[in-house]
Structure formats: structure tokens, C-alpha cells
Amino acid sequence: MKRKLSNQFLRNFLVIFLLTMLDTVLAFVFLSFASGLIAGSLAKNQYPASAIIKEDYNQIDASAVVQNGGGVQVVDKEYRVVYSRGLDTIGKDKLTIEEFTAFLTDSKSKSYHYDILYHPKGEFWLIVTFPTSIRLDFSLVYNKEAAAGDFMQACLVIAFVVLIYLLILALFAFTYSRITAASITIPLQKLCDGTRLLREGDYSVRVDLRLKNEFAELQNTFNDMAARIEHEISLRKKSEEDRRRLILDISHDLKNPMSSIQGYAELLMKKGMTEQECDEHLKIILNNSKRANRLLTELFELSQLDSPEFSLKLLETDICEYIRQICGDFVPQLEREGFKYEFNIPEDSVFALLDTDRFNRIIQNLANNVMRYNPEGTMVTVSLTVQNHQVLIDFSDDGIGIPDHLANNIFKPFVRVDDSRNSKTGGSGLGLFIAKRIAEAHGGDLILLPNKNRGSTFRITIPAI
């Protein structure tokens, strides 16, 4: 690809090179045309020496020449300047023969135009001087009478100069084409390398072109894309890992009650067991089947929350009234189990969009956890406040609390503080995970507030309307 682009640039610059040559030739043609065009209008050509010369130089009228910024001098055969009007570039009254010869031969290269005419009868030279506006001394002259050697030599020199000119032009064109091509092919190559690495699975690849043009935009887009892919891949890896762990945990948690059910059912089938033993075995079977059933129900609930068809049936609800009612429903159970309680729910009406069936699940999980994991006499407090259009429902207890090292993970599935205690209480470690997902689906959240003294405080937030 690199070579193809470079060659393309070289071809383009070859065309430019040919066009430049053509333009150079045209420039000379135009210049000679322009010089012919302006020649007629120049003052020096309007007042040539031949037009004003008189046999008696004293009668020469130099006024028009002087008016146009020029000058007229007459040099006699003794090389004395005998007549002078206007511009005088000789600057002397008398010249030596050498000085006059030098003046005649140098007159072409000066920044003045001289028209010199000899009057044979009057025996004087008439010199008409005009300042040169612009001099362009390029003219191609060919005289057949010139010596053949001279012609060949001149042709060789001209050919050599033209060749050098073309070589320099070609060198410039070639160098420029390479530099221009490189400014495209190098960043392109770097981007290609990056893309290849990305395709090969190196998602950490980033391109740094150190440019500020369109390639920089492409580089930023590429880097952005690579960062996103890297993020997505790491998310996917994590979710695969989570899923793998979930399946492992589920099978582990189901295995215990199922094998216990199987074992005790086999025992029951044996003859010779007292009625009391039978009852105890049946109780164990019942408890284990309840545990398995609860785990399956929670898993079913979780898969419902995960399913794309899942949606909440949101209704505008007075959340104070609603929480007050739920708390009231819990009172008999709290009293029965020996828990103290306090509810701080304002009398006002605060509205929020709730799917009350699902939202019940959050409160139920939190309340069950308080009663399941804390000893009798634990104080349960439910308070509701509104802050910045957010309803905050704090569910706290002064019980055993949750160890700091688990505080960040307590909402992850199957995380439990004490596995052995949980197998007794039948906890699966899914309750808080489900509750948090439901709160999030409501546009809110469920968090564990940092432990101040003892016990734990869970905070549900939900947007007020």
C-alpha cells in the first residue's frame, strides 16, 4: 500500500514537472510578447536621437526629452561635451578617447538607456539618455555568418544550462513527492499496524501520531474505539466469570438440601423407625425442600429481572403512606420475634413512581434480614426523608452489623457473612442482590451506609415526582 501511494504521488509530481516546463516556455513567450507590446509606448522609443538631430547642434530641441525625464548631450570630435540639456550621466566637460570608448561600450549595461548617433557632417555624437524603467535583456539571436564553432559552443552551453535547470526541477519534484507521500503513508502505516494488533486481540493498543491534522482525528477515533472494545471485552470477561461463579454457587447451594432430602427419604423407607424419628426426619426433609424451593424462587425472580421483557408497572404512589402501611404490616411479626421498632415517616404526601409488588420485595428482604440475622431485642428503625427530589428510606438496626471487609460486596450474589449460619437460616445470598436490582429498575438505588456505631443501615433512594 505504501509503495502504491508513493508511486501515485510520483506520477502526480511528474505531471506537475511537465506542466512547470511548459509554463516556463510560455513565460518566455509571454515576456517577449509583453516587451514588444510596451516598447512602442516607452519615452526612449518616442524620442530617438534620429528624430531630434540637427546639423547645427545648437538648434537641437531637447525640451520634449527633458520633460520626459531624459537628457541630451552632444560630444564633438575632440570628445568635449559641447551641448547638455536635462539628465547628464557623463558628468564631465571633456573626456579622453578611452573614457569615451568605455562609455560607448558600457552604455548597454547601465540603468540608463542611451541612443547614440554620429552626425558625419557636424562631426559630433548626439547622446539621448533616458532612465531605464525595467531592462529585460533576453533575446535569441542567430546569425548564419557567425563561425560554426561559435554556434556549436553557444548551443552546448545553452543545452547544458537547460539540462541543469530541468534536473534541479526534477529533483525538487521528486523530493517533494516523497516528503508529501511520507506524510500520508507513515501515519497510515501506524494506523494499519494498530488495527492489525487490535484484530489479533491486543486491545490495549493505542496509536500516537503526534499530528494535528485529519489523521489526528482518525487516531482519536481509533483510540476511542480500541478503548471501548477493551472495556467491553473486560466487561464480557467479568460477566462470564460472574456467570460461571453463579452456576457454581447455585449447584453448590442446591446440592446440600437435595442430598439431605434424598438421604432422609431413604432413611424413612427403612422399616423399624419410631414415630418420633419419622417426624424428625420429615421435618428435616420439609426444611430442606423449603430451602431449595426458596433458592429456586429467587433464581427465577433474578432471571425475570434479567430478561429483556422485564418491565415495571409503575404507578404514581404516595410513598409515605405506602411505607407506613408496610411497616404496620410488619409490627405483629416484629413483636412476636421480640424486636423493638421505631418508624419516622412524615405525615406529608410524597409521590414517586412505584411498582408496589416489586418494591414490596425490597422492604421484605430488608425486614427479613433484620429479623433473621439479629438477636431478640434489636432495635429496628425505618425513617423516610426527602432530599434534592430524592426519597431516602433508611432501614437500620443496632444488631450485629456487617463486617467492613464485606461492605462493598454484600450486594453481589451469593455473598453471605457467615455461610454456616446462613445454612441454618436458609439464606441464599441473593436477597440484597435482587433488592438492589429492583431499586435500580425504579431509577433509584440500594446502598449500605458506612457503619457508624453498631448494626447496619441500608438506604433505598428513589426519585420523587
What residues contact residue 311 under an 8 Å CB cut-off, 6+ apart? Answer: none
Q: Does 430 bind ligand ADP (CB under 6 A)?
A: yes
User: What residues between 433 and 462 interact with ligand ADP by CB under 6 A?
Assistant: 433, 456
Query: All 3 cell numbers of residue 248?
Result: 457454581
Q: Which of 402, 438, 439, 460 binds ligand ADP (CB under 6 A)?
A: 402
Residue 373 sits in the site that holds ligand ADP (CB under 6 A): yes
| C-beta of 21 vs 415, nearer to ligand ADP | 415
Grid cell digits, residue 358:
416489586
Q: Which stretch binds ligand ADP (CB under 6 A): 124-132, 247-255, 354-362, 366-374?
A: 366-374
Residue 129 makes contact with ligand ADP by CB under 6 A: no
Among the residue ranges 26-34, 138-146, 265-273, 417-425, the one whose residues contact ligand ADP (CB under 6 A): 417-425
Q: How many residues bind ligand ADP (CB under 6 A)?
A: 23
- Specify the DSSP class assigned to residue 270: S
**Single residue of 374, 393, 442, 460 touching ligand ADP by CB under 6 A:** 374
Quote the cell numbers at residue 211: 499530528
Instruction: Give all strands of the β-sheet with 71-76 in edge-to-edge order.
Output: 81-86, 71-76, 124-131, 112-119
Closer to ligand ADP at the Cβ: 177 or 374? 374
d(CA 2, CA 428) in angstroms, rounded, equals 62
From the list 386, 400, 441, 447, which residue makes contact with ligand ADP (rule: CB under 6 A)? 400
Nine-digit cell at 21?
Answer: 516546463
By beta-carbon proximity to ligand ADP, the closer residue of 72 and 439 is 439
Q: Which residues pair with 458 in a beta bridge?
A: 395, 448
- Beta-strand ranges (E) seen in 77-163 are 81-86, 112-119, 124-131
Residue (135 or 452) nearer to ligand ADP, CB: 452
* Cell numbers standing for residue 287: 426444611
Of 80-88, 225-233, 338-346, 362-370, the window that binds ligand ADP (rule: CB under 6 A) is: 362-370
Residue 369 binds ligand ADP (CB under 6 A)? yes
Q: Tell me the three cell numbers of residue 354.
A: 412505584
Alpha carbon separation from 197 to 90, 200, 206 (Å, rounded): 82, 5, 10
Member of 299, 427, 444, 461 binding ligand ADP (CB under 6 A): 427
Query: What's the min distance (Å) between Cβ of 266 and ligand ADP?
Result: 29
Residue 257, interface with ligand ADP (CB under 6 A)? no
Beta bridge partners of 382: 343, 395
Q: How far apart are CA 411 and CA 447, in angstroms?
A: 8
Least Å from the CB of residue 281 to ligand ADP? 26
Residue 72's region, left for phi above 0, alpha for psi from -120 to 50, else beta, is beta
Q: What is the DSSP string of 367-383?
A: HHHHHHHS-TT-EEEEE
3-state SS, residue 340 = strand
- Shortest distance, CB of residue 395 to ligand ADP, whole angstroms? 8
Task: Kindly state the smallest distance separating residue 432's Cβ from ligand ADP, in Å.
Answer: 3
Q: What DSSP element (H or E) covers 90? A: none
> Taking the CB of residue 331, how many other CB atoms lie within 10 A of it?
12
Q: Does 429 sit near ligand ADP (CB under 6 A)?
A: yes
428 binding ligand ADP? (CB under 6 A): yes
Q: Which stretch binds ligand ADP (CB under 6 A): 87-95, 123-131, 355-363, 364-372?
A: 364-372
When the beta carbons of 87 and 410 are compared against ligand ADP, the nearer one is: 410
- Residues in contact with ligand ADP by the rule CB under 6 A: 365, 369-370, 373-374, 397, 399-400, 402, 410, 415-418, 422, 427-433, 456
